[in-house]
Amino acid sequence: MSRYLVACDAGGTMTDVIIVDEEGRSVIGKAPTSPHDESVGYMESFWEALEYMGISQEEGQDFGKHIETAIYTGTSMLNTVINMNGYKTGILVTKGFEDIIAQGRGSQTFIGAQWSEITHMQYRKHRIPLVPSALARGVTERIDMFGTPVIPMYEHEVRQGARELIVDEEVEAIAIIFLQSYVNPMHENRAEEICREVMQEVGREVVLEVSNKVAPTMREISRANATVVQAYASDPARKQLYRIEEELVKTGYQHSLKTVLGYGGITNIRYPRLFEAAMSGPVGGLMGAQYLSSVIGEENIVCSDVGGTSFDAGAITAGVLPIDREPGFQDMYVNVPMLGITSIGAGTGTYIRVDPQTNRIKLGPDSAGGTPGPTFMEAGNTTPTINDVNLLLGILSETNYLGGKVKINKSYKLFKEKVSDPLGMEVYEAAETCLELLNVMMREHLVQSLMVGHDLREYVLLGYGGGGPLHLLGYAGDYPWKAVCTVPHAGGFSAWGGACMDYSHRRHKSVGAVITPDLDDATKLAYLAPVASSWNALEAELREELKGEGFSEDQISVERVVYMKYYGQLDDVEVESPVDKIDSVGDMNALIKGFEDLYARMFTLAARPDIGAYHITEVCVVAKVATVKPKLRKFELASKEPAKEAYKTSRPVFMRGKWQDADIWEMEKLVPGNEIDGLAVIEASNTTLLVPPEWHVRIDEFDIYWITRKDA
């Protein structure tokens, strides 16, 4: 029997599991996400995927023996933070900064807000802190920005603070956060030793996290937040992952479950820095898109993921994945490298309400999720959603939702009562208005937020997620994208992308290296010495870590990275170094040339200042072990005319104020080479592609659906 790879994407609404064999063939299972116990949704999706392979649940009880790797991406840690049900956590912090978590940063109060909200103070809000000020203990100590101890640490204050938190407050975790510890960790490390001594004295163990080990980078509040998230949420989230692993073991699975890190890489669920997986969910889509780009030869791709709860978007430019080293996470900035993905509360499960004060439509940002789901599922939700609208308009089929496994009924009366009557509109006109409003929200998020400063004519727009093909041409709009495309496995594309990653760990460290044209070569090399020494230290740490996880030295490959900018500019770029050391002028010049070449590809030569001054702000090392990946297979092209059995029927779809007959096609029976004109609805078991009248679909040799305007 073949060996298989299993990957999962557990979103806020649906959990997708994809099973891939050695030839790259795949099947996708789908089930509602179960936040209370994510193993439930995981296994329901797993069994459904096996059904598509022709294997019943009874026959598949030992299927796990044939699984090479099982990968999870999802929301377990995110849910822990959202629900505020992590460990009771205290902090030891530099005296005078006891409110560092509760106070946060001013800009945290409007993370993800629209400009209309940012400019009005009443819309801003501080989140409930994970650590209240009552659980903070200050310690007299200070290390300056150069790493010099200017005030010695008062060890008796550390001992007293630790005892109070462990014994009196009965915390379950402690985070140690001292200023400038990323430059010199001596005070934090000694405080950690003292805390362990106190735990031994009182006979009680708690989780202990130290900021210089969690996030040894500048930006104090973000480093503090990252350390607290690690202490607060890692262990509770890990328990969810253990439950999934236990269920897989029952099927004969013989390995550990893997999870996806926020920057795009796979690791064991026992990985100590599990907070790096806090935003693993949308990562798979970008990683899948990067693999897709290498096959189709497109370096610039805008990735757009429409789920039930959110609309997630990111842009790959010049083949480079966007890395955000200080992302916003649940109204906090955290020093955790993550792929640059921006999200808004807009998906197929988005609630539709009418504001009684203004009598205007209000979409979301909250969602019905997988449970209770849209009103048409009749599972307890009485607030109409976008998917209810899609069903009312005839875009979704009553008999094909989740492949026909869930029976649904149109919620005409409920939508009329809750939405169209208060608006004074006819039901179908109101429904189409709601749909267009959602498409406008997603369109503006792409064009006016994500892609500001970029030329859309150079980018391919890729739509995926269960609702991606459904809304793709709505939010593509009239903008001049280079091309618009989707894939038949769009509903499980993020899970498929999770299977495209290598096993990898990543470490960052802040440095400050400035070289200017007035310096001689020897001085420039001396100024770059911290870059090379930090690389060496991080590489040694990562190699030991991966060897500790069972990999041999010859399996590990290493990439060295710098974050570099022209001196005086605000934003740096991630540059994979062409050299492993900086011992000579040739090494230095090669590094600078690598930066300049990438800068010219990502931006323009006009943006480059001609001063010859460069600033390296941070270094990074990525250690990887190659994994078996799914293949994007190439097919022989069939005729343009689809086979007769691919055509299902025609049905009326309400579009642009009137009912129009749409051709209904079965996606699984369409093959590369086929072409279809709109108006059409192409249905699959995990997604639906809506093709308006002015659009045309062509399926290429890689089974990618390219959608162009008929008059193009």
* Segment among 85-94, 423-432, 487-496, 672-681 with least mean pLDDT: 487-496
Q: pLDDT grade, residue 120 (50/70/90)?
A: confident
> What DSSP designation does 342 have?
E
Taking the C-alpha atoms of residue 158 and residue 175, their distance in angstroms, rounded to an integer, is: 12
In angstroms, the CA 474 to CA 487 distance is 17
Of 166, 184, 39, 3, give the one whose Cα is nearest residue 92: 166
Tens of pLDDT, residue by residue over 335-389, are 888 888 888 888 888 999 998 888 999 998 888 876 777 888 777 888 999 999 9
Query: What is the structure's pLDDT at 605?
Result: 67
- All structural domains of the chain with their residue ranges: 4-80+237-277, 83-234, 283-335+449-495, 350-438, 503-625, 644-709
d(CA 32, CA 44): 9
Each residue of 2-55: pLDDT tens digit? 788 898 888 777 888 888 887 767 788 888 888 788 899 899 999 988 988 888
172 SS3 class: coil
What end-to-end distance do the CA atoms of the chain give, in Å? 48
Q: Which residues contact 327 (CB under 8 A, 6 or more apart)?
A: 262, 279, 333, 334, 336, 338, 340
Please say if the pLDDT value at position 403 is more than 70: no
Reported pTM? 0.81
Identify the pLDDT of residue 370: 66
Count of H helices and E strands in the chain? 18, 32
Handedness of CA 79, 80, 84, 85 (dihedral sign): positive
Q: Kindly report, residue by residue over 170-188, the tens digit of the pLDDT.
A: 999 999 999 999 999 999 9
Which pLDDT belongs to residue 594?
92
Model confidence at 241: pLDDT above 80: yes
- What's the CATH code, domain 503-625? 3.30.1490
Cβ–Cβ under 8 Å, residues 368 and 397: no
Strands 301-306 and 311-316: antiparallel
Query: Does 1 have pLDDT greater than 70?
Result: no
Pairing verdict, β 67-73 and 258-261: parallel
- Kindly state the tokens that stand for 422: 């208060």
| Average pLDDT estimate for 143-168 | 95
Residue 616 or residue 279, greater confidence: 616
CA separation for the pair 10, 260 (Å, rounded): 12
In the Cβ-directed half-sphere of 606, how many Cα atoms lie within 13 Å? 0
- Residue 515 contacts by C-beta under 8 Å, 6 or more apart in sequence? 524, 527, 528, 588, 613, 614
Mean pLDDT, residues 669-674 taken together: 96
Q: Which two tokens stand for residue 657?
A: 């104020």
Please answer whether residues 289 and 303 qualify as being in contact, where contact means their C-beta atoms are separated by less than 8 angstroms: yes
Q: Considering only CA atoms, give the Rg of the chain.
A: 26
The pLDDT value given to residue 523: 94
Percent of the chain with pLDDT over 90: 51
Residue type, 210: V
Q: What is the pLDDT of residues 412-425, one digit of tens each?
A: 889 999 999 999 99
Mean pLDDT of 218-244: 91
| Element spanning 448, H or E | none
218 CB contacts (<8 Å, ≥6 apart)?
182, 510
- Spatial contact of 30 and 18, defined as CB atoms under 8 Å apart: no
pLDDT score of 564: 94
Handedness of CA 131, 134, 137, 138 (dihedral sign): positive
CA dist 670 and 666 (Å) reads 7
**How many other C-beta atoms can be found within 10 angstroms of the C-beta atom of residue 151?**
13
Higher pLDDT, 433 or 255: 433
**pLDDT: is 488 or 453 the higher one?**
488
C-alpha to C-alpha distance for 13 and 3, rounded to whole angstroms: 30
User: Is the bond preceding 327 in cis, omega lying within 30 degrees of 0?
Assistant: no
Q: What is the mean pLDDT of residues 539-545?
A: 92
**pLDDT score, position 643:** 95
DSSP string, 355-368: ETTTTEEEEEEEE-
pLDDT score recorded for residue 692? 95
Across 313-322, 543-552, 647-656, the highest mean pLDDT is recorded for 647-656
Q: What band does 556 get if pLDDT is binned at 50, 70 and 90? A: very high
Task: Specify the DSSP class assigned to residue 265.
Answer: E
Stretch (H or E) spanning 709: strand 705-709
> Does residue 273 carry a pLDDT above 90?
no
Q: Verify cis geometry, omega within 30 degrees of 0, for the bond prior to 365.
A: yes
Rounded to whole angstroms, the Cα distance separating 660 from 690 reads 13
Q: Enumerate residues 6+ apart whose C-beta is below 8 A from 471.
A: 306, 348, 438, 439, 442, 463, 690
Question: Is the CB of residue 296 less than 8 Å from the CB of residue 316?
Answer: no
Confidence of residue 659 (pLDDT cuts 50, 70, 90): very high
Distance CA 367, CA 404 (A): 22
Contact 98, 136 (CB under 8 A): yes
Both tokens of 220, joined, read 């104090």
Which tokens sit at 453?
Answer: 């400063």
Higher pLDDT, 313 or 364: 313
> Phi, psi (5° rounding) for residue 190?
-70, -40
Q: Distance between CA 363 and CA 372 in Å, rounded? A: 18
pLDDT score at 529: 93
Question: Which of the pair, 127 or 134, is modelled with greater confidence?
Answer: 134
What pLDDT, on the 0 to 100 scale, is given for residue 590?
95
pLDDT for 125 equals 78
The Cα 508–Cα 625 span in angstroms is: 19
Residue 229 has pLDDT above 80, yes or no: yes
Q: What is the pLDDT of residue 250?
A: 93
Mean pLDDT of 507-532: 92
**Can you give 17-50 as a three-state secondary structure string?**
EEEECCCCCEEEEEEECCCCCHHHHHHHHHHHHH
Q: Which two tokens stand for residue 478?
A: 């009239």
7, β-bridge pairs: 18, 71
pLDDT at res. 669: 94
529 touches 583 (CB < 8 A):
no
Whether the pLDDT of residue 631 is over 80: the answer is no
Instruction: Tell me if domain 4-80+237-277 and domain 503-625 are identical in fold.
Output: no
pLDDT class for 407, splitting at 50, 70, 90? low
> What gap in Å lies between CA 592 and CA 601, rounded to an integer?
14
Q: What is the pLDDT of residue 365?
A: 81
- Mean residue pLDDT of the chain comes to 89
Q: What band does 696 get if pLDDT is binned at 50, 70 and 90? A: very high
The CATH number of domain 4-80+237-277, selected from 3.30.420.40, 3.50.50.60, 3.40.50.300, 3.40.50.12500: 3.30.420.40
Indicate if the pLDDT at residue 76 is higher than 90. no
Q: For the segment 523-536, what is each residue's pLDDT rounded down to a tens digit?
A: 999 999 999 999 99
- Count the residues in the chain: 712
How far is 481 from 458, CA to CA, in rounded Å? 7
**pLDDT at position 405 over 70:** no
Residue 527's Cα: distance from chain center in Å? 36
